[in-house]
Each structure stands twice: as structure tokens, then as C-alpha cells.
Chains A and B, each alone.
Chain A
Amino acid sequence: MREAAGGGGEAGFKKVVRPRSPLLLSLGSRVHVFRFGHAPSGALELEDDTFKAVKPGLSSHAGDPAGAAASLQPLLDLALATVPPPKHAATALMVGATAGLRLLPGGQADEILAGVRARLAADSPFAVDAAAGVTILDGQAEGAFAWLTLNYLLGHLGKPAEATVAAIDLGGGSVQHAYALHARDADGAPPGYVRALAGGGRRYSVYVHSYLGFGLMAGRSAVLAAGETAAAAAGAAAGHPCVPAAPCGGAQPAAGDDASRKERAGDAAGAAGAGPPPSCAYTYGPATHDLSAASTGGASFGHCSAVAKDALAKGRPCGAPADQCSFDGAWGGAGRPSALYVSSYFWDRAVDAGLVPAAAAVAASLSPADLRAAGERACAASTDAVRAAFPAAAPDLAPYMCLDLAFQHALLTHGFGLPEAQGVTLVKKVAYRGREVEAAWPLGAALDALAALAA
């Protein structure tokens, strides 16, 4: 398990056990060198993607912009070796810094990016756009490029907006929703929701919104907080309807039992000292929530779902007619295509819940009703029984299966307005010309950069 930023092993007088905290440490930097050929129709066909990863990432060089820039040299070397020299000057290079760099305080991220720009200007023969060549990608840009990638791999670019697919990508901190709008809907969109993208010889107005704080890890915190607030308002006893009985593996252990408890909970916190019994809690960012089951003795999908829906803040105004608002005060767009692809943690929990075979890699279908059925099973069981009932899930996930499935169900039905029986496509990779290709943002960024060069 990786520690959350700012998370320590102690919280007040209590030792905090975190069965699974969000991942906020940089995984490093990667270069993708995409090579495209031309189909007889003139469309770009992805031929290969050579990539290389280095660790640590740029964010590990905070305060050392030159060192940060130098850390990318092995990646540039691969690009130089892969792209034929006569094509260097005509090849677009883009550096997109994502969540790891966004977390740096003050101007450290800007200093690092300035160092990278300077290094590229001095040493790289590639074409780097002065404005967009080296940037911090916000969630909206990531979502837009990921939409472009998905529709490219599915062969939908170049088709009308209604023939493309919509995408909902559930990360840890945010969930992103993207789809192509009809021109008339794009014209009437509130500011900040539409991004112009090009692909397949057609220009698209893509609705994209990143709901910060509603990724799965952040969503857990929001749902736990909403339950705590509701219980406090009702004067009810402590306990949460999304938390199963014995969330950390049984009766409260004595202080000497700490090691075995941590092992069950999958926690890698430091050694415990003598002191009060440890608490079982979930920490996300600055918030810590005690995990305790409702006084009725366990979780309830119905009650948990109600709390999850509360956490989505559906009724918050969005500056447009209420029927156009999705949740958390966001405009939900208009005229979403019927085909919807969901990914990332949607995929993960579907595998954990046995809704998708673990060996599957490309795509599977499910409906919100499937999530509800799995959630009802998880919520009705004790933590140990969840482990037995969902063998594909990591043991430390058991305290959260009810919550996660109820949150995902609420997100799709209450947040994004899907009918209970509507089928959606779960996607991890896309079958493209006989291979399985991950639908991540870098390919979309490459396509967008090539379109800009051709314009």
C-alpha cells in the first residue's frame, strides 16, 4: 500500500489503520513514440508505440528544475533513436504533466516546466509548441484526450457526433465524463465545458467535465463524511450504513494484537508502540473517518446508496436549467450518445466483484443493475464473508466493497442519469487491428498534435 500524502501513522492519540488509501505518489514519467502510417483512405493508422518509463517522476525533483529536465533525457534519447533523423523537425513533441506535478505547492511545478522547456529548446530537434508543448494537463484535458483515444481506437473518428461513444473514467480523485456534442448544444453550453478537438478529418465539440472529489478514493471519503453528518444530525449512534460488520477483521484487538490486525487489513504502517488499541479508519487527504458499522450490525445497500446519493449533491445549481445539471453543481451536457464506455475503477471493481473475468482485458458489458446486485451481496455480508464471497478482490478491499459498489451505482444512476437496465461497456483496453491497446490520454494528445500540425 502507498501512503496518502500527508498521511502518517498516527492521528491524535490513535494509531490509524488504513486498509487502502489513495495513491498519490508519482509513478514516474513515460515517453510514447507513436508511428502512424496512412490507410488508403488517407486516415492515420497507428503502426506502433514504443515507450519507455523512468522513475522517479518530475515531481520528485521539486526545487531542482535542471535535474527534473535532465531526468527526461533517457526518454528523449529513445525518441531520437526511434524517429528517423530526417523527420525530427517535423515531429511534434508534447510533455503533459499530470496529477503528480499538480500536487506540488507554490510555483515549483512551473519552475520544473520552465526547466523542461529550456532543455527541449536547447537540445531537442523536435517541434515543441510554444503554448501547449509543455504543460500541466488538467482533468478536463486528460478527459478530452482520453475520449479522442477511445474513439480513434474504436474507429469512430470522422463520424458524426452521435456515432461516437461517450466515456466515463473513474479515477481515484476525480471522475471524468466526455462525449461529442451536437453543434447546436455546443453553442448553448455554459463556459468551461466544451473543448474543440480534431480527428478523422472532422472537428468535434467535446463536452468534458472532471468532477474533482468524486473519484473512487475521494468518493469513499465523501460518502463516509455524508454518513457521519447524517448520523450527527439525527442524533443517531455512531456507525455507517456502508461499513460492514467487523470492518477490520473481527473484534477490536488488544494492543498486542496490532500486527495481525494490520496484516489482515493490508496496512503497511510502521511498527506500533504500546498504547491504546488501534482504530480502524480511512484517510483521504486531510480527512480521516473511523470505520464502524451501523448499530444495526452491518451495512445496508439501500441505506448506503441513499448516503452515496446525498454525497453527490445532485440538487446543486449549475447555472443552467435544473434538468441539465448532473451533480455537484456541474452542467451535464446534452444529447449524450447512447453508447457509453466506462473505465478505470469501474473496471477494477467489476473484476473484484466477479462481474468481469480477471483474465479479460478488452471489454465487457454490464448495467447499473449488475452493480446493485453485487453491492447488495457485499452489503449483506460481514467483512470476512465479503472476502469469501468475492475471491477476486484483494483482502484489504473487503471493508469497502459495499461502499464502492454503492457509490459506483449511485454515480451512474443518480449522478449521470442512467436507467437501471442500461448496458454500458466496461473497457480496459481496446481491440485495435489485432492488438489490445490501452485507451489512455497520450495517444489522443498525439492525434490532436498531428491535427494541429496539419492545419
Chain B
Amino acid sequence: MIQLNKNYSLPDALADTVPVKVVSVGGAGLNALDRIVLDGLEKASVVAINTDVQSLTSSVAAHKVQLGRTRTRGLGTGGDPELGYEAAVESADEIREALTDTRMVFVCAGLGGGTGSGAAPYVAHLAREAGALVIAFVTLPFTFEGKRRATQAREALGRLNEIAHSVICFENDRMGDLVAPQAGIHHAFAMADTTISQSVRSVVNLIQRPGLIRIGFDDLLAALRVRHSRCLFGFGESDSDNRAHDALTQALKNPLMDRGRMLADATNVLVQVSGGAGMTLSEVEVLMQELGRHVNEQTQILFGAVVDGKLGDRLAVTIISSLAADEDLISESRDGATLSNVFAQPPVREQHPPPQIHIEPEAAMEPVAHEESISFEQPVAAQATPAAESLPGESEPLPVTPRKKAVPHTDEKAAAKSVPAKQEILQFEPVTRGRFEKSEPTIVEGEDLDVPTYLRKNIKVK
């Protein structure tokens, strides 16, 4: 057994760090950024971008950019992505300034709202213009936040997919699986932030940390290369006697990884193993062998190993992968899984793994049946937490009905009230210009104005 020695091959630490910036856009992004900063991130600078001055003020980020000084006057966008976009365009120069001198930009945003959906693609665009590599970390809204937000989120995701070099997308719905049924709703939102935080930091570490076997940005891109794919996420670490096995099991048990089953179809899997000075080769061997059982023979495994004294007795695994979306209902989502470790601060590390570890027994027992209907119902009704305020109108239907049904429920009510049901059937025609069908189209700013406005704006009139 070869003992990996810390002095063995550690290159000069900061000599070749890449200038990295983590940029958050919108309220959800800001929360995630705060999480990231609080969890500790030494090798990258952070920039907070938002329309809402209040949330910017309370953010811990050092560098802040307010969008749309005249457009929104320091208020939020009220969930209107167009407004978010306009605000971003107005403040383009400030954003550009914030993005100078950086080789890599991580854009964090919660899609579905106004600023996140509207401004994030534009920020990504500016970052690309500045010559940086752009990776977007985004969350899709909970189903119960409504179809409108889901649609806005998907549109924004589509745009980001085209602009950013890579998009890592987390579905908040899946995040729910990480939270214990009895936990408050704020835990669910906090978990979303934590997940982004973990993945951002693990990717930053992946690139910045001098490794024994180094993983570069090219490897990362290779792992995420599949376009329009879905992204899984999980992480695990352990300091038990059998820590290699435990860390991996924990990671694969993460609901976002679907217990490793998703890995079977992946073409590229990026794995980084990191541990303290006591990490042995055999441990790594065990871990990789076990992982090998979950992946296809043709799968290319991009392997990296890192020794970091700060980890002490712990061993951590980061896995990133992507999967072409075929079985998924959402057209443009991705699955990559990051199984990561919190390297920086011991206290933090102790905070995050516990929820995950605790859940596993529960999650393991009933995840299949309850995967979508999750654990939120009681907490939402029972405790009005600050986080709950950001969910529009979910308070009523939630207590009894599973979340998925909450949205249709209200729809049905409205429909029953005003519309004879038979009329609904006619809705299928996708784009139509009515009496202007045969006339010269009026196309202004890329939009066919002959198509009814409410259709183009996706506003349901029935």
C-alpha cells in the first residue's frame, strides 16, 4: 500500500490559478451566492447582480451591481423576464466592468422569476463577449410555483444553453427529496442554495486545486458536453473506517443521482477524489472499482485526485456527468451529477452533510412513490417561514393536495367558472394569424405582430 504523501507532488499552490468569478443574478442567485461566500470560497471573486436594491444591500458579496437604475428604480422585476432583460441591458456597462479580467465566469441564477430568467442569459452573453468561459448554474422552480414560472424558466434555460459553454441545471423539485418530510420549507430552499453552493465550489476547486492527477476545464467541459441534457447532482464524504465505500454510496444515494442508475447511460463521467494526507491508493482503487459497476463499459471516466491537508481524515468524491434527455418530460434540462465535498471549512462541512445523511433512510424507504409529492405539505401550512413568502399563492392548496396537483387545481376552478369545456379543445393550433393569414406579415423586432399578442406573450385568456 502506497501512502500518499502530502509533500509528494504538490505543485506551487496559487502559481497557476485561473481568475474565476462567480456571478449571481437575481434573488435566488443571490441567496446561493451568499451561501457560497459563507461556506467559503477563496479562489474566486464574487459579484452580486440584482434589480432589487434591498436584497443587494443585505447580500454579503463584496462586489454588487444594481440593474436598471431607471428601469426598475431599485425594485424587483415582479417576475417579468422582459423587464429583467431590459434592466440588464440598461446596466450593461456596469456588468461588463464587473466581468473584466477573468477567464472563467460562473453564472448562478434561479430561473422562473424576472431578473434570473431575464438578465442571466444576457449576463452570460456579456461574459462570453469578455472572452471568458461561461458555466451557468441554474435552478428550475418548484412545480408548485406555477406553470408561468416554469415556462419562463424553460425559455431562459433554452437561451442559456445557447449562450453559456455549459449549463448545469438543478430542478428544485428534486431538491425536495433531500429534505426530511418534517423539515420546514426554508430547508428546501436552503437545500437548493446549498446544492448550488456545493457544485460551484467543487467545480472551482476542481479547476483551481493543484491535483495529483489534475482535472482541467477541458475535462469538465467534456463531462458536460451533451447539449440539452439533464444534470444530476449529489455529493458524499465520509471519515468512517470504510470511508471510500461510504462516500461513494452516499453520493450515489443522492436523489439527484437516482442512485447511480443515471450514470449507466452517461458517455463521460468526471470523478474527483480528494482526501487528506492519509488517503491511500487502495482506497481510491476501491472507490473507482465500485463506481465502475455503475457506469457503462464505453463510458469515459475522467479521473482526478487531490490531496488537501484541510480535509483531515475525510475523503470526498465529486462526480459530474451529463445525460442526453430522452426519458425526461422537460425538453431542455440536464443531468450532471456533482458529488462533491466541502473542503474549506470544517464547521460548514459538519452542517451540510448531516441533513443528507439523515434523510437517506427515509428517502430510501419511500422515494419511489413520493418522489414528486414530497415532504413540503405540512411545513408550508404549519410554519410560515421567510422563504415561504417567495412562493406565490401556494398556501391554500398545499396542505392537503400533493404539490403537483396544486396548480391544475386552481386552473380547473377558473375554467369551470367561465368556459364551456368543449371550447378548450380548439387551443391546439400553435401559431396562427387569423385574417392576416394571406397578407404580408408585419414583422417588427423579430416578432410577427399579426399573431395575437396574448399568444406570443403566452398569456392564457381562457
| Bind each other | no
